[in-house]
Structure 1
Amino acid sequence: MNDVHNSFWFFALLISSTLIFCFIILKKRNTQTLFLYLTMVGYGYIIETMIFNFLGSYDYKPNIIKHNAFYDSELGAFFSNALSLPVIATLIATFHLNWLWIVFFSGYFVGIEWLFLKLHIYTHHWWRLEYTGLGLLMYFGLAKIFYKWILHPSIGFKHNLMLYLITGSISASAHILPMLFFMNRFYRPGWFEDVGRDSIAFSAIYYLCASLIYCLIVKINWKMKWIKYILTGLFIYIVNQVLIKIGILHSLVWWDQMYYVFLALFLIMLVKIIDKRLSKPILVKNPF
């Protein structure tokens, strides 16, 4: 019964966030909205890697994943950082909501966090509600800045940062979610005693480095386009073999290594498309 109680609140966030996101997409009908959402997911993942994975700021308790408590907590973080927060950030930026709305939504999520604490489905360690409020003010404000960058494409740092954050959002989700649900692999670098935390922490470093490589490969002007795919697939395969050899990667199912090689190839193709679309301004409809 307690499991149902815990998961209910997280699924409520999932459903409400999905409905709001569908509303945004139906109203905007452009790729810039999707790019902003993915950018905010990618940015949120980086922040969460630092404060949650490595610094142990808090724990989520959705009680959805039974076999590993930290994986369950990671899934709770996913509900927040891949759904509710970036969706509202996208709403604020794409509908040009002012700072009063930013303050309102920041307070709204602080209220949700307080409720989750009282329901004992979320636990603070060194984290505080004040940190959430301040962090969200900056997060939602940053979404408005990122949206301006996306609306007015440019080469150089802004473009490359957008591309990296978008790539990271997709790469991280596709890398870690199978580990949570299918137990296809785990990492054991020995940074933390808890196997789940150790595995997710290394996964974060893996996806951050892999995303950078994908972006760099796409940016190189290859004479023979197919070479990038061969080199990428071979590189990911070799990295996996080295990690297995030194005892960090433990591959548990037959399809595991094949999946990550094909994921890398797919991401190269996808990042190339995103890179081109980010460079082209698209007419944006009236916010309302």
Structure 2
Amino acid sequence: MYSYILLIRQHIMAGNTVWFLIPGIIFVLLLVFTLLKKKDMKLVVLYFSMSAIAGFLEIVIFFLFESYEYYPQVWNDWYYDNTFGAYLSQRFFVSSVAIFVAAFNLGFGFILLFIAMFVGIEYAFLALKVYKLNWWHPTYTAIGLLIYFYIGKVWYRCLLDGSYRFFRMFTLGCFAFTLYTDVIAIPTLSGHYEFAVDWFDNPSRDTVIVILIYCLTRGYLIAFVCCYKRHWVYLSFLTAAIWLSYIVLIQFDIFIYKHLWDLWLFAASDLIVLFSSLYFNRVLSRPDK
């Protein structure tokens, strides 16, 4: 792991990485400011959930239909490098601004300003040749962000009012999906996991898409149990069933891992997501006065 950290640091100091790092730092600072200013744990859930909504869209347009390409030049594997660019964009860039807009209930003028900023960043990335459009167009970005920011504002109002159980489960599933991907992101992009399914002509693409589906499935199973069946028997059974699925996939040479600690991390991610989901389910259950 330490060698990979050194490799990442080396790439950050040169190449295209700095163009992703600069906006990344700015948007993370914006997120931190929002969370510290508002001091509302529901915003943490909303942040993860809005990242998930962006991620769901990416699964369709980016991973399945290859809408655009990123070149951050962090990872040696081209597809993992491309995926990392998309991860930064959806996980930190747009989601942080969506939380800022929702938390402070900003109006249409501010939303248009942020949309113009993101479209400007998109054109700047194109000019810097760190980003390439296939069939996507910046106009689609503008329209998508308008809808995205509106969803964030409505979602936050629903969370403040104390959401219904089904809506809470959907929100918690989004949270769990994003947290899963965060925990295993570096090992995955480092090539420590492989899912041999032969869906595409690129094994790295196979692995990323299977992991996304796996994270989505596990996330919503945990969300369902946390919202509807919180007894320790159901929680223990679900965790054991998920771990058993790893053993089955390993036995059939579908799930391949490089080091033993990779497998332990994959398994530990279930406990991290489970306990985090239990905590935030209680947070979401409380309406704000």
**Same-fold call, TM cutoff 0.5:** yes
Q: 1:60 aligns with which of 60, 70, 84?
A: 70
Tell me what 2:89 maps to: 80
Tell me what 1:170 maps to: 179
Tell me what 1:201 maps to: 209
Structure 1 residue 141: Cα displacement: 1.0
Are 1:19 and 2:29 an aligned pair? yes
Tell me what 2:4 maps to: none
Tell me what 2:112 maps to: 103
Q: What does residue range 26-175 of structure 1 map to in structure 2 within 5 Å? A: 26-66=36-76, 68-175=77-184
The verdict on how the C-alpha distance between 1:251 and 1:42 changes in structure 2, with shifts beyond 3 A counting, is same
Q: Which stretch of the first structure deviates more once superposed, 132-141 or 2-11? A: 2-11
Structure 1 residue 184: Cα displacement: 2.3
Question: What are the superposed Cα offsets for residues 112-146 of structure 1, whole Å, 9 maximum, x if unpaired?
Answer: 11110111100111111111111111111111111
CA contact (8 A) 2:12 2:18 kept: no
Structure 1 residue 245: Cα displacement: 3.0
Following the alignment from structure 2 to structure 1, what is the Cα–Cα distance between the partners of residues 94 and 126? Answer: 18
The verdict on how the C-alpha distance between 1:65 and 1:220 changes in structure 2, with shifts beyond 3 A counting, is same
* Structure 2 stretches lacking a partner, 5+ long: 1-10
Task: Report the count of equivalent residues.
Answer: 279
CA contact (8 A) 2:184 2:265 kept: no
Tell me what 2:241 maps to: 235
Q: Which residue identity lines up with residue 82 of structure 1 in the other structure?
A: R
Following the alignment from structure 1 to structure 2, what is the Cα–Cα distance between the partners of residues 52 and 199? Answer: 15
Following the alignment from structure 2 to structure 1, what is the Cα–Cα distance between the partners of residues 197 and 150? Answer: 36
The verdict on how the C-alpha distance between 1:248 and 1:28 changes in structure 2, with shifts beyond 3 A counting, is same
Are 1:212 and 2:187 an aligned pair? no
Tell me what 2:284 maps to: 278
Structure 1 residue 178: Cα displacement: 2.2
CA contact (8 A) 2:43 2:99 kept: yes
CA contact (8 A) 1:58 1:126 kept: yes
Q: TM-score, normalised by structure 2?
A: 0.91
The verdict on how the C-alpha distance between 1:126 and 1:82 changes in structure 2, with shifts beyond 3 A counting, is same
Structure 1 residue 215: Cα displacement: 1.2
Following the alignment from structure 1 to structure 2, what is the Cα–Cα distance between the partners of residues 191 and 114? Answer: 33
CA contact (8 A) 1:185 1:249 kept: yes
Question: What are the superposed Cα offsets for residues 200-249 of structure 1, whole Å, 9 maximum, x if unpaired?
Answer: 011111111111111122234355x2x34532332122211222233321
Tell me what 1:286 maps to: none
Tell me what 2:254 maps to: 248
Instruction: Spell out structure 1 runs of 4+ moving beyond 4 A.
Output: none
CA contact (8 A) 1:117 1:123 kept: yes
Following the alignment from structure 2 to structure 1, what is the Cα–Cα distance between the partners of residues 12 and 272? Answer: 40
Identity %: 27
Are 1:269 and 2:238 an aligned pair? no
Structure 1 residue 3: Cα displacement: 7.9
Tell me how large the CA RMSD over aligned residues is.
1.9
Following the alignment from structure 1 to structure 2, what is the Cα–Cα distance between the partners of residues 229 and 259? Answer: 19
